[in-house]
Each structure stands twice: as structure tokens, then as C-alpha cells.
Amino acid sequence: MDVFLQQLVNGLILGSIYAIVALGYTMVYGIIGLINFAHGDIVMVGALVAWTVCTALAGSAVPAPLILLAAAGAAMVVCMTLGVSIERVAYRPLRRAPRLAPLITAIGMSILLQYSAALIWSKQYLALPAILQPTMYTVAGATVTDLQVFIFLLACALMAALAWFIKRTRIGKAMRATEQNRDVAGLMGIDVNRIIAFTFLVGSGLAAIAGLMVILYYGIGHYFMGFMLGLKAFTAAVLGGIGKVNGAMLGGMLLGVVEALASGYIGDLTGGWLGSNYRDVFAFLVLVLVLVLRPSGLIGGPVSERA
């Protein structure tokens, strides 16, 4: 029982990070039908910018919450600029091209971001100085830190805010209209380019926060950290139903919990044959199974076939 609760807690934290990243994938896919492979690497950039700010301010008299705020601010500015510029330079010219072209461009962007980061931050593992001393609580046999609670609550707040924003505001409505039919939305007087740029802006801002969460949670950054995280978050988006914002939230949480439980139990279930070193397999198994059995995801109607 202890294992179950503990893994559930870990899974929910992991899941809330996945969900935040998955939102970026799903919004971009929904609006321009592109798997933005570079999104995971934008999270990485956010994490490393946050690391830089934290490291620079760690020894000073600045109080911890202010450091975090500064880190979040810097990460958001950098990531948002990056996301919008990438869309403008690399994706916009290819909007009407056959689907393979933007996909390969996105892969190219991902590689470009990774190795630019390797140049700026080196290829070392970057350890975050101890800014926070998380307090541990024991709840029904499971250990929870206040940092974990903070990450979870922040993720929930962001998701709620985003859901409200898309449902209620003018620009949110314009986003949904553009998603439905870009051409008609344009005819109705929506500036489609602005809406798409805005989508990238929001997605990249969320990615920056996710990057901060990751670096705070694991305490270690690396130029390649966005890759696996991105793939898993994408899996989460697919699991929920790609293009659906609430799907990404559900998918993220679910994938986090599945992964945590599976890596916690796989040793016992297989009698020690398979260990937790297989944890990365679960995300991909989920991905393959969902796509093969129910390509539209858990929520979301039938999708039109995309060539």
C-alpha cells in the first residue's frame, strides 16, 4: 500500500508536468496540424534559463521566492520569444506545404535548439544550487514535500486558467475558430497569423513554467533533457486526444500515474525479471496502443484521416 500511495503521489507530480508540456503540443497540433518536435526543447531552454538565474542569485541576499519569480520571468521571456520566432521563421512559410516538410523542419529546429544549448550551457549535467529546503510531510505512509504540492497546485491553476481563457475570452474563441477552419476564420475577420503566433506564445510560456518545475523537481538540467520529456508529453497529448486541451490535461496526469505505478510495480509483477529501467518503455507502449486502438484518444470524436 505504501508503494502504491507513494507512486501515486510521484505520478501525479510527474503527470502535472507532462500535462503542462502536453498543452503546448496539443494547441499547436490543433491549430496548424503540426507535431512541434521542438517544443520539448523549448522546455529544456526554459529549464536552463531558470537554472542560470537561480545559480546567479543563489548566494545573494535575495529571498528564495523572489529568485524563483525572477527565474520564471526570465524563462518565460526567453521561451516566448523563441517560440514565436520559430513559428514566424520556420513554420509559417510552410503552412501550405506537404506535411512532411514542416515535420522535418520541426525536427531540424529541435536539433538546432539542443546543440545551441550545448554551446551555451555545455554538455555537462548542471546541478541546481539548493535554493529551497523542501519540508517533508508524511501522509498515510507516503512522503510529500511542499515543493511537490506547489508544483501540483501551480499546474492545476495554470490548466484552469487556460481552460477559462480558451472558453471565455475573445481571443480564446478566435483560437477555437481558427482550429475549426482556418480559411473561414480568416474570412470572418480573424487575423489568423496573429492567433497562431499567440498560440505559440501561450504554449511556449507554459513550456517555460514546465521547465522551471522540472529543474526544481529533479535539481538537474541537461541540454538533452527536453527530448524524452517532449516525447512523453506528446504521448500524453495523443492519449488524451490530440488537439483537445482538456485531453492533454487528462492524458498528462494519466501517463504520469501509469508510468510511476508501472515502474514501481514492474519488478514485483515480473518476479524481478524486468526492472524500473524499463520505465521509458511504458510511455511508448501507451503511445503505440492508443494510436493503434483508438487514434482519437480518450476524449475526442473520430478524427479525419490526415495524409
Burial class of 92 by CB neighbour count within 10 A (0 to 12, 13 to 18, 19+)? middle
Which of 77, 97, 136, 153 touches other proteins by CB under 8 A? 97
Site for other proteins in 26-55 (CB under 8 A): 33, 35
Shortest gap between Cβ of 177 and other proteins (angstroms)? 23
- 284 is a site residue for other proteins (CB under 8 A): yes
- Angle (CA) 139 143 145, round 5°: 100
Shortest gap between Cβ of 130 and other proteins (angstroms)? 30
DSSP letters, 241-260, are -TT-HHHHHHHHHHHHHHHH
Beta bridge partners of 145: 136
- 56 is a site residue for other proteins (CB under 8 A): no
Instruction: Identify which range of 49-57, 128-136, 199-207, 266-274 contacts other proteins by CB under 8 A.
Output: 266-274
By CB under 8 A, the count of residues binding other proteins is 50
Which of 116, 145, 193, 246 touches other proteins by CB under 8 A? 116
Answer yes or no: are the C-beta atoms of 268 and 56 closer than 8 Å: no
- 98 is a site residue for other proteins (CB under 8 A): yes
- 275 is a site residue for other proteins (CB under 8 A): yes
C-alpha cell at 277: 529501467
- Angle (CA) 264 262 4, round 5°: 50
Nearest to 208 by CA among 13, 14, 40: 40
Residues that bind other proteins (CB under 8 A): 33, 35, 90, 93-94, 96-105, 107-116, 118-119, 123, 231, 234-235, 238, 272-275, 277-278, 280-281, 284-285, 287-288, 291-292, 295, 305-307
